[in-house]
């Protein structure tokens, strides 16, 4: 089954910029950006980010405010602070043996950097990889990581898999089976998350008088280190 998967990947793989590098910093940037953000939105932002900050040392030297501004539109802005803090740690101390000690890096992201950048035989297990493994009942090797991700993202879809074009369909015990819809994320429109994003966008444009803003949102952004107080003004951190 793995042979068929890899042959399909050679024909159908997505041309993504982070697949053209083995630089662990570039891979880390892509993986942090891809957390909860669609590939299509990430691609141009990833390219622009690396043009501006091509190394961990370059990012570490940037101000937190500039990093937050550059992140606008990708969502979940705490990831920007985590990536910035991780870059500072890498610039000062080098890459740690345990990558999960870096801010924003969990087991999956650590495994992705180890596999895609360092060539280590570990399989990064995201939702797409998990889905393909569970449906096929096959234990794929780390060499199939990118192929599994592409198959899960484009063919072995969560609710209605495209079994008619799947290279693994002949031997898949789940072929033709419909699946229950995945639990939907809570509505963004009108949510606290949206109000946070909008307020942060305002502050990124120019400082605002904190007392005139929604206090719960201000306090939340302050806790996450996304804004700072300069007297009565709410600003981006320096």
Give the residue numbers annotated as catalytic, written as ranges: 31
Q: Which residues have C-beta within 8 Å of that of residue 29, sequence separation ≥ 6?
A: 18, 46, 49, 50, 83
Which residues are within 8 A (CB) of 216 and not within 5 positions of it... i.e. 6 or more apart?
Answer: 192
Residue given tokens 């990536």 in the structure block: 83
Helices (H) and strands (E) counted in the chain, each on its own, are 11, 3
Tokens 């990124």 label which residue? 204
Do 208 and 222 touch, CB atoms closer than 8 A? no
Q: How far is the C-alpha of 49 from the C-alpha of 72, rounded, in Å?
A: 12
Phi, psi of 229 (to 5 degrees): -100, 130
Paired tokens of 7: 């042959």
- Residue-wise burial string across 48-60, b where 16 or more C-beta atoms lie within 10 A, e elsewhere: ebbeebeebeebb
195-199, Cβ contacts within 8 angstroms, sequence gap of 24 or more: 196/77, 196/220, 196/221, 197/75, 197/77
């Amino acid at each position: 089954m793995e042979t068929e998967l890899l042959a399909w990947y050679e024909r159908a793989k997505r041309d993504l910029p982070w697949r053209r590098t083995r630089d662990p910093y570039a891979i880390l940037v892509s993986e942090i950006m891809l957390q909860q953000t669609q590939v299509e939105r990430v691609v141009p932002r990833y390219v622009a980010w690396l043009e501006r900050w091509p190394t961990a040392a370059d990012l570490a030297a940037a101000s937190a405010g500039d990093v937050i501004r550059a992140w606008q539109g990708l969502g979940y802005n705490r990831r920007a602070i985590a990536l910035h803090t991780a870059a500072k740690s890498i610039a000062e101390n080098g890459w740690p043996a345990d990558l999960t000690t870096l801010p924003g890096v969990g087991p999956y992201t650590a495994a992705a950097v180890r596999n895609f950048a360092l060539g280590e035989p570990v399989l990064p297990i995201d939702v797409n990889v998990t889905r393909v493994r569970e449906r096929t009942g096959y234990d794929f090797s780390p060499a199939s990581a990118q192929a599994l991700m592409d198959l899960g993202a484009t063919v072995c879809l969560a609710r209605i898999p495209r079994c008619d074009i799947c290279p693994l369909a002949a031997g898949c015990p789940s072929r033709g089976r419909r699946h229950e819809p995945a639990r939907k994320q809570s509505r963004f429109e009108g949510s606290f998350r949206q109000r946070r994003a909008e307020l942060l966008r305002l502050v990124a444009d120019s400082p605002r008088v904190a007392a005139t803003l929604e206090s719960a949102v201000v306090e939340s952004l302050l806790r996450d280190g996304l804004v700072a107080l300069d007297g009565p003004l709410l600003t981006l951190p320096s």
